[in-house]
């Protein structure tokens, strides 16, 4: 474990981890510094691999002892065989993908289960910002309109409609506002949504 590494995961990653069976095979797309994969390896004996484009994050993964491939997710998952993993995770990356449908189909191809998290554009202050003539800037979406990596923003219902269109069966959903789970009116009150789905 690298120096200063946290032993506890933030709330959304902890929920994702709770959906992953011990000893399973996990692919983490846009894995960042490898925090989730390292935790799953150490706490759940998961065999995992990550895909990441950023040089600094790739180095951080290597330092954690996490297997990582440096690749742009827009190129797809052709490196991986159908059904090669039990679960594939795409955490807070879907909104920055140009080909959202393609990556979701690829996730369903390479794993039995998929987990996706994304900022919820339906969060009520976003609507208030738009009514005031401004694009929202919040903790979950801290960028200005001209420098944001987020190109495909959606609400919970938008994602659920897309999942149905692609034949993805939603198994579980969790919604958060910062580190607090939101159960009442999640479409309005949550800043982040996490979904677990099955392929077909």
CB-based contacts of 4, cutoff 8 Å, min separation 6 = none
Res 4: pLDDT: 41
User: Rounded CA gap, 100 and 183, in Å?
Assistant: 27
- 74-to-29, 110, 112, 125, 137 alpha-carbon distances in Å: 11, 16, 21, 31, 26
β strands within the chain, DSSP E: 25-29, 47-52, 68-70, 85-91, 111-119, 168-177, 180-181, 192-199
Would you say how long the chain is, in residues?
A: 200
Res 153: pLDDT: 83
Res 124: pLDDT: 63
18 with 46: CB under 8 angstroms?
Answer: no
Res 123: pLDDT: 76
List the structure tokens of 178. Answer: 């910062």
CB-based contacts of 176, cutoff 8 Å, min separation 6 = 11, 12, 15, 182, 190, 191, 192, 193, 194
Q: Within the chain, which residues score under 50 in pLDDT?
A: 1-5
Res 178: pLDDT: 87
Global confidence as pTM: 0.88
The helix (run of H) or strand (run of E) holding residue 57 is helix 55-64
């Amino acid at each position: 474990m690298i120096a200063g590494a946290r032993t506890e995961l933030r709330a959304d990653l902890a929920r994702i981890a709770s959906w992953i069976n011990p000893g399973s095979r996990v692919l983490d797309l846009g894995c960042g510094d490898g925090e989730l994969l390292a935790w799953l390896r150490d706490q759940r004996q998961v065999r995992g691999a990550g895909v990441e484009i950023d040089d600094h994050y790739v180095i951080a993964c290597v330092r954690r002892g996490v297997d990582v491939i440096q690749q742009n997710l827009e190129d797809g998952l052709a490196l991986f065989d159908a059904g090669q993993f039990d679960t594939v995770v795409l955490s807070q990356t879907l909104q920055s993908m140009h080909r959202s449908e393609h990556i979701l189909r690829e996730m369903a191809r390479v794993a039995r289960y998929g987990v996706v998290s994304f900022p919820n554009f339906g969060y009520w202050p976003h609507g208030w910002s738009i009514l005031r003539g401004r694009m929202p800037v919040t903790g979950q979406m801290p960028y200005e309109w001209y420098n944001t990596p987020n190109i495909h923003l959606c609400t919970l219902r938008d994602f659920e409609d897309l999942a149905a269109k692609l034949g993805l069966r939603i198994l579980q959903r969790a919604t958060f506002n910062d580190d607090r789970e939101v159960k009442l009116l999640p479409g309005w009150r949550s800043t982040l949504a996490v979904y677990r789905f099955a392929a077909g």
